[in-house]
A and B are shown apart, each in its own frame.
Chain A
Amino acid sequence: MSTAAQEKSVYEQIGGEPAMAAAVDVFYRKVLSDDRISHFFEDVDMERQAAKQKAFLTMVTGGPSNYSGKDMRAGHAPLVKRGLNETHFDAVVEHLRATLEELNVPAPLVERVLSIAGGARADVLNR
């Protein structure tokens, strides 16, 4: 792998914006089917929710995103009040891994994405 390819974000390497739509379908379907966490994602407006899933995937794959740690805290604070904890966090990470693997993202890139996601743990859980 050349240095230039390594510097490219995972987001770009897996195909950027257009690839996100497919990734959202796969990821959101897994999340909604998981009884441990699906209740956090019950939203009358699936389209609006899908847009947020896209924001999530864009962020963890290193795409253009302007969420700060503070935004992450504020955004998930209501969920923490509703009981969001480590177990839920791990479930989301698990689905993230499965999604990327299903989309044939190479293993080293998957690890990079998961480490970005893991880095958000404290903010998401409001620790």
Chain B
Amino acid sequence: MARVKHESRWYPLESEESVLDGLLRQGVAVPNACRAGACQSCLMRALSGEIPEAARVGLKDTLRTQGYFLACVCKPVAGTELEVAGADALRVPARIDSLTLLSASVLRVRLSTDAPFDYRAGQYVSLLRADGLARSYSLASLPREGLLELHVRLIPGGAMSGWLAREARVGDTVAVQGPAGSCFYVPGHPEQPLLLAGTGTGLAPLHGIVRDALESGHTGPIWLFHGARTPEGLYLMDALRELAARHSGFHYRPCVLTGGSRDVAEGALDVLIRAECPRPVGFRAWLCGDSGMVLSLRKKLFLSGLSLKDLHADAFLPSAPRVEPVGAR
């Protein structure tokens, strides 16, 4: 059996139980969302004890050296004694600056932070409500713009998206934690062709990356594919068309499964990509949004010749069902 100490109390873990599940089960509140090692909402810090390497995969070196780990995938070997603390030090207070619908199902949330928030366009953050509810959102803004911009898809019954759509008010205080992720533009190869593909609010990080690349003077072709089920799922079309009109190397290709038109292609996203970019060898690519789409497209692009080191993907994993503390209700 492993034991975890949190705020001067010891909590035993069952075999194969993660630190997150063990703490939640015994009534300790720890922010969390995907519980699959991706969203980084459940970051905690080890004050003492051995952390398995699997719980630190994908963390920046600066976080590793400070002892941070992902509680949801941390399963200490039997006999381990761990002393842990929350990640409060990584959270930055922020205020809701504006809430604007970009389409019937996408809400733009702008946040202002008191201290400058250091990130690369395209990375994601955990948004924390005052009560600890946490969800990951990608940044659509550029660092020079000051405000942080999120595109939140409104999900029926969604805890965070529902709160943002109905109850949150301009001026409300929240917190952001991060940034995380490797979906961002890397200067140094201005002529490399770029391929960006996303479904739904997967457009958020891509919009940031495209503008970052253009502002950095990228000269190679840039392809942006935005997929949705129906035309109602597309948004920012005018802004992107205008951007394409100003930059001849930037190609914007919206696409829907049904209801296509002269300006919007109809069909599967991967088919459209294959038609426009038949041989993506030597490209750099970013894939964001629905996890099924991201994973299958990543595999297809890899098989058609893209190098793994040039493939960046953020799967928008949904939150996992809550763990109720023992004895609740």
23 residue pairs bridging A and B, Cβ less than 8 Å apart: A21-B308, A21-B309, A24-B308, A25-B307, A25-B308, A28-B302, A28-B308, A29-B302, A29-B303, A32-B299, A32-B302, A32-B303, A33-B303, A44-B295, A46-B295, A46-B298, A46-B299, A46-B302, A46-B308, A46-B311, A47-B308, A48-B57, A50-B308
Smallest CB separation, B197 vs chain A (Å): 16
- A residues 13-52 with Cβ under 8 Å of B? 21, 24-25, 28-29, 32-33, 44, 46-48, 50
Smallest CB separation, B289 vs chain A (Å): 15
Question: Complex Cα distance A25/B311, Å?
Answer: 12
Question: Complex Cα distance A32/B303, Å?
Answer: 8
Smallest CB separation, A43 vs chain B (Å): 10
Q: B: which residues have CB within 8 A of A?
A: 57, 295, 298-299, 302-303, 307-309, 311
Question: Complex Cα distance A47/B311, Å?
Answer: 10
User: For B295, what are the chain A residues with a Cβ–Cβ distance below 8 Å?
Assistant: 44, 46
Q: Identify which of A24, A25, A28, A32 gathers the most chain B CB atoms within 10 Å of its CB.
A: A25
**Complex A-B, nearest 6 residue pairs according to Cβ-Cβ distance, in ascending order:** A25-B307, A50-B308, A25-B308, A33-B303, A29-B303, A46-B298
Q: Per DSSP, are chain A's interface residues mostly helix, strand or loop, or mixed?
A: helix
A sample of 14 more A-B contacts (CB under 8 A), given A29-B303, A46-B298, A47-B308, is: A21-B308, A21-B309, A25-B308, A28-B302, A28-B308, A29-B302, A32-B299, A32-B302, A32-B303, A33-B303, A44-B295, A46-B302, A46-B308, A50-B308
User: For B311, what are the chain A residues with a Cβ–Cβ distance below 8 Å?
Assistant: 46
Range class of the A interface residue count: 10 to 19
User: For A32, what are the chain B residues with a Cβ–Cβ distance below 8 Å?
Assistant: 299, 302-303
Smallest CB separation, A37 vs chain B (Å): 14
User: For B308, what are the chain A residues with a Cβ–Cβ distance below 8 Å?
Assistant: 21, 24-25, 28, 46-47, 50
User: For B299, what are the chain A residues with a Cβ–Cβ distance below 8 Å?
Assistant: 32, 46
Question: Complex Cα distance A50/B303, Å?
Answer: 13
User: For B303, what are the chain A residues with a Cβ–Cβ distance below 8 Å?
Assistant: 29, 32-33
User: For B298, what are the chain A residues with a Cβ–Cβ distance below 8 Å?
Assistant: 46
Question: Complex Cα distance A21/B307, Å?
Answer: 9
Question: Complex Cα distance A50/B295, Å?
Answer: 14
Question: Complex Cα distance A44/B308, Å?
Answer: 14
Smallest CB separation, A48 vs chain B (Å): 7
With both beta carbons as reference points, the residue of chain A lying nearest to B304 in the complex is identified as A29
Question: Complex Cα distance A50/B308, Å?
Answer: 8
User: For A28, what are the chain B residues with a Cβ–Cβ distance below 8 Å?
Assistant: 302, 308
User: For B309, what are the chain A residues with a Cβ–Cβ distance below 8 Å?
Assistant: 21
Smallest CB separation, A13 vs chain B (Å): 23
Q: Identify which of A28, A29, A32, A48 gathers the most chain B CB atoms within 10 Å of its CB.
A: A29
Question: Complex Cα distance A33/B307, Å?
Answer: 15
User: For B307, what are the chain A residues with a Cβ–Cβ distance below 8 Å?
Assistant: 25
Question: Complex Cα distance A85/B309, Å?
Answer: 32
With both beta carbons as reference points, the residue of chain B lying nearest to A32 in the complex is identified as B303
Q: Identify which of B298, B302, B308, B309 gathers the most chain A CB atoms within 10 Å of its CB.
A: B308
